[in-house]
Structure 1
Amino acid sequence: MELKNQNSIIKNIFVKMLLKKGGKNIAETLYYNILIELLKKTKQKPIFILMKAIDNLSPTLKLINVPINKRKKNKKKSHYFLIFFKKEKQIKNSINYFLFFSKKRKTNFLKNIVNEILSTFNNKSKSIDKNKENYKEINKLRYNIKY
Structure 2
Amino acid sequence: MELKNQNNMIKNIFIKMLLKKGGKNIAETLYNNILIELLKKTKQKPIFILIKTIDNLSPTLKLINVPISKRRKKKKKSRYFLIFFKKEKQIKNSINYILFFSKKRKTNFLKNIVNEILSTFNNKSKSIDKNKEVYKDINKLRYNIKY
Asked if these proteins are the same fold (TM beyond 0.5), I'd say: yes
Displacement of 1:77? 2.0
TM-score by length of 2: 0.95
CA contact (8 A) 1:15 1:24 kept: yes
TM-score by length of 1: 0.95
% same residue: 91
| Alignment gaps of 5+ in structure 1 | none
Equivalent residue runs for 1:128-139 within 5 Å: 128-139=128-139
Cα distance change on mapping 1:73 and 1:49 into 2, 3 Å: farther
Partners in 1 of 2:71 and 2:137 — Cα distance?
Answer: 22
Displacement of 1:76? 2.5
Residues 65-93 of structure 1: CA deviation (Å, up to 9, x unaligned): 01333789997222100000000000000
CA contact (8 A) 2:60 2:90 kept: yes
Cα distance change on mapping 1:72 and 1:12 into 2, 3 Å: farther
Residues 116-136 of structure 1: CA deviation (Å, up to 9, x unaligned): 000000000000000000000
Displacement of 1:23? 0.2
Count of aligned pairs between the two proteins: 147
3-state SS of paired residue (1:143): coil
Cα distance change on mapping 1:109 and 1:76 into 2, 3 Å: same
Cα distance change on mapping 1:102 and 1:80 into 2, 3 Å: same
Residues 90-116 of structure 1: CA deviation (Å, up to 9, x unaligned): 000000000000000000000000000
Partners in 2 of 1:63 and 1:104 — Cα distance?
Answer: 25
| Alignment gaps of 5+ in structure 2 | none
Displacement of 1:20? 3.1
CA contact (8 A) 1:68 1:75 kept: no
CA contact (8 A) 2:67 2:77 kept: no
Displacement of 1:21? 4.8
Structure 1 window deviating more from structure 2 (18-27 vs 109-118): it is 18-27
3-state SS of paired residue (2:50): helix
CA contact (8 A) 2:15 2:24 kept: yes
